[in-house]
Amino acid sequence: MQDNINHEYNRIEDYGLIGNMKTVALISMNGSIDFMSYPTFDSPTVFAKLLDSRKGGSFSVTPHLQDYNTKQLYLPGTAVLLTRFFSEEGIAELTDYMPVQKGHAIKSNAIVRQVKTVRGSITYKVKCAPAFDYARSNHTCEAGENEVFFKVQNDQKTVMRLLADVPLQVVDNSGYAEFTLNQSETVYLVLECGHQHIEETNPVEYYKNYTYKETIGYWRKWSSQSTYKGRWNEAVNRSAITLKLLTSSEHGSTVAAATFGLPETLGGERNWDYRYTWIRDAAFTMYAFLRLGYTSEATAFLKWIHARCQDDKLYLMYSIDGTHELAEEELSHFSGYKNSKPVRIGNAAQNQLQLDIYGELIDTIYIYNKQYSAVTYEFWETIAEQIEIVIASWRKPDHGIWEIRNVEKEFLHSRLMCWVAMDRAIKIAEFRSFPYPKQQWNEIRDEIYLDIYHNFWNEEVGAWVQYKGAGHVDASVLLMSLMHFISPHEPRWLSTMKVVEKELGLDVLLYRYRNGKESFDGLEGEEGTFNMCSFWLIESLAKSGQVSKALDSFEKMNGYANHLGLFSEQISYKAEHLGNFPQAFTHLALISAALEIDKQLDRL
């Protein structure tokens, strides 16, 4: 029974991503949209076959071909996805995108699907079977001329309209079509979404005649802004486009990943909701955007974060629109990806103390202020308020970057980022001549530095360890060098890197930490290697002068990307992708590693 269920699911990496900076959709290599939240990244799903193959809902386009193979590719410099089907009988091509116009999504979210026969005469079957509100709400279907309306029967009042230039009908409460296309013939399918009504109801000809060129033009214009001139243009630009797809054009916030509930261990309980804005992840994302010349994204995010700082405190994570009520609950009716339960929405980690967020945020503000645009004094006052929190809290144990749920420790990474917060705030103040308590801030910065340098060093291990008193390392120690806390050539640092590779490494793959027999993180089961940690190590190697090793490792690590250059959070024993997909942190770490290797190679 288990094997039969597993066969109903595609591998996590067998998907491509499209979006319009409001939401995203995942499209499998067999042409099925198996995941989409609506109307925003963190809204309930309308398609979630990826999390329950029978209840979740999907939108499939299937060519009637025997023994076909499939391939996917993005059109260069865009988020327009092509899925091709190859067989002796013919070649079919499916082009998918979400229209964007003048830099923003149109009022109604829409998906355009162009079906084309390249060779032969091929019959296609289309089935649009939404499952609204995480498949918890029923809906009605109403057929019109070449259109089907779906209306959800709950308080959300979501409406979807499927239209096409071929006849559509209602079958099993789903939109259905069957048609045959000869060589070079095309059919357009459009799915429009709205609340209570479709904000913009357009004929299918509108999408055929206008949205494709405008969407291609938008993405290529955006991609052309990149200042990256290095050796990995394709990988870096694809990562940048992926980060852009995960960023809200309306709010300026960015989500950690497109999905929720995808397991870190098949059949295990490590299944989290990543469709929110973590301060840490978003700050690093903006850092990557700034390094590539995408300054407007960083400006929009800083405006968003400044508004959040007006609250009673800075929370660990937020919804896209800036609210912070993210109660965690289980979708018990979902079977989970390959029976990986529970499937969770919301995130209880929102209430944790994670002191590192101040360092990551203020480091990004420092780069923005130094390289692009001066922050205002009003913004500086907000920064100073956050520094006061760091001063009052830096000695406290917390849950750390990995959001350990069952214990609080004095984690090295949290302490490091408190130092970063102090250091970058001082640098901003000095650079801009802002008033600040110079003696106090400098003394605290130095006190944190000495605490880390002496009290987190374990002579027996030969490394800076995960938390004060620990006997093992954690991959987040790699940020000590990347954040300019320590010289990349210092003997203690070189020793730490060797211990990290020995204890956590499998060639270029790297675990974030070893859970051990005592289950340090309080969760059952093992997890995969963490992709972003691998890129941290690669960047650290380049910084420390091991450029040839970093270069080879970077190429090998890129070999673990999927067919479109996308990464999930983790890699399994079988080298399959695990965790939510695609993950922003992995792609921004890839960008940072590529930039560092380029810099070091140019110096040779």
**Fold type of domain 237-602:** Glycosyltransferase (1.50.10)
Asked if residue 490 has pLDDT above 80, the reply is yes
**SS3 label, residue 72:** strand
Contact 124, 94 (CB under 8 A): no
- pLDDT at 103 exceeding the cut of 70: no
The DSSP bridge partners found for residue 160 are 150, 193
Residue ranges in 483-583 assigned as alpha helix (H): 491-504, 531-543, 547-558
Ramachandran category for residue 272: left, alpha or beta (phi over 0 → left; psi -120 to 50 → alpha): beta
Instruction: Say if residue 198's pLDDT is above 90.
Output: no
Using the predicted structure, report yes or no on whether residue 6 has a pLDDT greater than 90: no
- List beta partners, residue 144: 147
Average pLDDT over residues 265-291: 94
What does the pLDDT average to over 59-73? 97
Q: What is the mean pLDDT of residues 213-224?
A: 96
Decide if pLDDT at 199 tops 90.
no
Residue type, 443: E
- Min mean pLDDT across 96-100, 268-272, 532-536, 583-587 is at 268-272
Residue 191's CB: how many other CB atoms inside 10 A?
A: 28
pLDDT number for residue 578: 97
Give the containing element (helix H, strand E) for 580: none
pLDDT-derived band at 8, boundaries 50, 70, 90: confident
- For 517-570, the pLDDT digits (tens) are 666 776 776 789 999 999 999 999 999 999 999 999 999 999 999 999 999 999
Among residues of the chain, what percentage have pLDDT more than 90?
87
Phi and psi angles of residue 318, each rounded to the nearest 5 degrees, phi first:
-140, 160
- Cα distance between residue 537 and residue 477, in whole Å: 10
Residue 42 has pLDDT above 80, yes or no: yes
Q: What is the pLDDT of residues 406-435, one digit of tens each?
A: 889 999 999 999 999 999 999 999 999 999
Please give the pLDDT value at position 43. 94
- The model's pLDDT over 346-379, given as tens digits with 9 standing for 90+, comes to 999 888 999 999 999 999 999 999 999 999 999 9
- Which whole number is the average pLDDT over 390-399? 97
The per-residue pLDDT for 197 is 60
Domain boundaries, the chain: 15-198, 237-602
Task: Name the DSSP class of 290.
Answer: H
CA-atom Rg of the chain in angstroms: 25
For 364, the enclosing helix (H) or strand (E) is helix 357-371
Q: Which range, of 8-22, 156-170, 276-290, averages the lowest pLDDT? A: 156-170
The answer to whether 132 touches 125, Cβ cutoff 8 Å, is no
430-457 pLDDT, tens digit per residue, is 999 999 999 999 999 999 999 999 999 9
Mean pLDDT, the chain, rounded, equals: 94
| CATH T-level fold of 15-198 | Beta-galactosidase; Chain A, domain 5 (2.70.98)
The upper half-sphere exposure of residue 541, i.e. CA atoms within 13 Å in the direction of its Cβ, equals 22
Give the amino acid at 264: E
DSSP-assigned states of every residue in 296-359: HHHHHHHHHHHHHTTSSS--SEE-TTS------EE-TT---GGG----EES-GGGGS--TTHHH
Q: What confidence tier does 405 reach under pLDDT thresholds 50, 70, 90? A: confident
Distance separating alpha carbons of residues 385 and 391, to the nearest angstrom: 10
* Max intra-chain CA distance, the chain: 78
Residues 6+ apart with CB under 8 A from 49: 32, 34, 35, 56, 57, 58
> Measured between alpha carbons, how far is 166 from 175 in angstroms, rounded to an integer?
12
The DSSP code sequence of 200-236 is: S---HHHIIIIIHHHHHHHHHHHHTT----SS-HHHH
Task: Give the pLDDT score at 577.
Answer: 98
**What is the rounded CA–CA span in Å between residue 318 and residue 365?**
19
CA dihedral 245, 248, 254, 260 (to 10 degrees): -70
- Identity of the amino acid at 16: G
Query: Which residue's entry shows tokens 């497109």?
Result: 258
Q: Is the pTM of this model over 0.85?
A: yes
Answer yes or no: is pLDDT of 3 > 70.
no
* Rounded average pLDDT over 105-117: 84
pLDDT at 580: 98
- Could you report the per-residue pLDDT of 324-345, keeping only the tens digit for each? 889 999 999 999 999 999 999 9
Q: How far is CA 590 from the centre of its chain?
A: 13
